[in-house]
Chains A and B, each alone.
Chain A
Amino acid sequence: MPPPETHYTRNGDVRIAYQVVGDGPLDLIVVPGLVSHLDLTWAEPAHARFCRELAKFARLILFDKRGTGLSDRDAGVAGLEERMDDVLAVIEAAGARRPAMLGVSEGGMMSLLFAATYPERLRALALYGAFVHSPTRSWPADQVEARFDLVERAWGTGMLPPRVAPSMAADQEFRRAWSRFERESASAAAAVALLRIDREADITDVLPRVRVPTLLLHRSGDRRIGVENAHYLAERVPGAEYVELPGDDHLPYVGDSDRVVAEIRTFLAKTG
């Protein structure tokens, strides 16, 4: 399937690439995980299908964060605050009015901070496979640099599928496509720079302040981000609805992605 048209909006000097798909009655902006690539999203059949299903009930707004994908790379990656500003710029450029936000994996942190900061801008928040404490936080202090070094060297070589998509890990075609997705979404240095920021950032104190209707989705056997991360959020985000899904894939579009979409649709239908 050919990708939808890519547009660019500016935040200061930095251009953020975004796409708008579908014309459903509500706007849904997707905050991607660690790295993303707007064109390759549509090259992976499962990912494309996931987006198309979401676009059946929503006007779907996709973007790549600064330093990744089709957005300006030379600006480097940024902390949560600048990323929020980028999202504000995308929301404005896309003409979205009080969109719902879907934060996927690493995008969850920024989404939570965004929801707490701009409750009037969001209709609802759905998180999938989210966390506030990056897995890198559990690295022993004396191994941090060595581990980052390892990540940097392994980037783009297809090491992650057993963790992020175990059900597809044996599929060589998927692994090749995933390696390419990694390489094209971000340089190894950019990926590690993002991981370093996530390792430092801590939004725990902010969780009780999230006051928009929130849905937490997590697969019970997630091999990348353990389900305890969702339990942690469920206990701290006021009134959050937590739905634990079966499966061990971390990527929402791998495994029973229809169920993920159905939960989001049901949840958003209830929020005004």
Chain B
Amino acid sequence: MDPPETRYARSGDVRIAYQVTGSGPLDLVFVPGFVSNLDLWWESPIWSNFFARLASFSRVILFDKRGTGLSDRVAGIASLEDRMDDVRAVMDAVRSERAAIHGVSEGGAMSMLFAATYPERTRALALYGTYAHYLSWVASGAQLEAFIATCERSWGTGESVRFFMPSKASDEAFRRFFARWERQGGSPSAAVALTRMNAEIDLRPILSTIRVPTLVMHRVADPRVGVEAGRYLGANIPDAKYVELPGEDHIPLDITDRLADEIEEFLTGSRGEAEIDRVLATVLFTDIVDSTTRAVELGDRQWRALRDRHDSAVRQQISRFRGHEIKSLGDGFLATFDGPARAIRCASAIAETIQPLGIAVRSGLHTGEIELHGGDIGGIAVHIAARVAAMAGPNETMVSSTVRDLVAGSGLRFADRGHHALKGLPEEVHLYSALGNA
């Protein structure tokens, strides 16, 4: 995805690079962790999507902290106050009176300080994987020195990935990307200076002064910033909402959708309403076996009369088992049920009532999500049910394993018909033949 235009705000003598994307009704400033690079975000489909998600409900304001990325690469250590002021400079530049702040990891500290200092400009605070005291929850002593030594020795090779995303430590392609992230996010000296500055941070005394609505998100097995750091924030920022997420990487690449969901919900106060044009249902297909042959044998008039009797018998059973007839398919029916066991019993009852007419039906069932289009239905579940039905023999009710797994306790019995590749489906479907009640 093409990056948005990069502009520069002045914070004192230092230029801070920023980008704006989206035009939602609220402003959301993204304060990145450790080092970042505004252009590199957009080379990653995952991050591009993440920002696009945020931009669906907000005007997203991205920037690189001083000393990193596309901002002025000032030398030495900047104070937390100066860096916090950079957020204000960017907000001024984009004429944002009041914004929500999403602070990630190392960016969390300046975000919290900003919220405590400028409550009138902070609409809300959403934190991920961050901490109030580096030495307590990130690293101290030998660990801290080991991290700094790694930065000194191998910055720009991607070696630091093992600290942030251990699950990707042996993924060469990811490591190469991460190496660029390091190099284009900051120089070795900047990384070291930033780390030393972080090690001095202790925001614990000011947490109780944060008076804006705050969401704290932390992963339960975060390898870089221990989960206790998040729990501490959750417990000590007044009325903070704390959400613990699963996972073992610090960088949340695999849960960006979750983060976007949480942030959207927290900031907009709502989740989407349930989409009731998509529902779970058990789909039944029935089909008269050898209908063409029978039609030829009987002749048009008799065949039509037979089919009418078939139709009325099937409809009777569908309604008896609380199904919904979607449509007649000429030689069969498409119906849905809100209970899979009733659907199976209906199919068996249809086979039984049809038999005296001298014809046989085959039936197939699958439970899945269907899309409602007016009176008709669609979706992959409908296709699967049709394919399952095609596998059934005369008077047989074939079901997918999904159906079978849902009817435990119903007393229904099944015969295993094995795994089958069904036309148009990427995965094999495990089929069972319904045998009726135990």
Contact = CB atoms under 8 A, between A and B. Distances in A.
Contacts of B408: 79-80, 197-202
Given A117-B281, A203-B405, A205-B368, A243 B410 contact: no
B331 interface: no
Contacts of B272: 239
Contact of B339 (A81, A119, A199, A246): A81
B203 interface: no
Interface stretch (B70-78, B140-148, B240-248): B240-248
Specify which of A122, A211, A212, A227 lies most central, judged by the most chain B CB atoms within 10 Å of its CB. Answer: A211
A84 B265 CA distance: 29
B259 to A, nearest CB: 12
Interface string A110-132: 00010011111010000000000
Contact of A205 (B265, B342, B405): B405
Interface residues of B, number: 38
A79 B341 contact: yes
Interface string B375-411: 0000000000000000000000000001001111110
Main secondary structure of the interface of B (DSSP, over half): mixed
A78 interface: yes
A120 B338 CA distance: 13
Nearest to B266: A270
A209 B244 contact: no
A239 B261 contact: yes
B279 A117 contact: yes
A36 to B, nearest CB: 17
Contacts of A209: 278-280, 368-369
B205 interface: no
Contact of A206 (B241, B269, B367, B409): B367
A205 B367 contact: yes
A23 interface: no
Contacts of B241: 266
B275 interface: yes
A202 B274 contact: no
B407 to A, nearest CB: 6
Given A81-B342, A270-B271, A242 B245 contact: yes
B262 interface: yes
B293 interface: no
Nearest to A119: B274
B214 to A, nearest CB: 13
A126 to B, nearest CB: 13
B243 A243 contact: yes
Interface in A239-272: 239, 241-244, 246, 266, 270-272
Given A81-B407, A211-B276, 6 more contacts: A80-B409, A119-B276, A206-B402, A206-B406, A211-B278, A212-B274
Interface of B: 220, 231, 241-246, 261-262, 265, 269-276, 278-281, 338-342, 367-369, 402, 405-410
Interface of A: 77-82, 84-85, 113, 116-120, 122, 196-206, 208-209, 211-213, 220, 227, 231, 234-235, 239, 241-244, 246, 266, 270-272
20 contacts: A77-B409, A79-B408, A80-B407, A80-B408, A81-B339, A81-B340, A81-B342, A82-B410, A84-B339, A117-B280, A118-B338, A198-B408, A200-B408, A201-B405, A203-B406, A206-B406, A220-B220, A234-B245, A271-B270, A272-B270
In order of increasing CB-CB distance, the 5 nearest A-B pairs are A79-B409, A197-B409, A200-B408, A202-B405, A201-B408
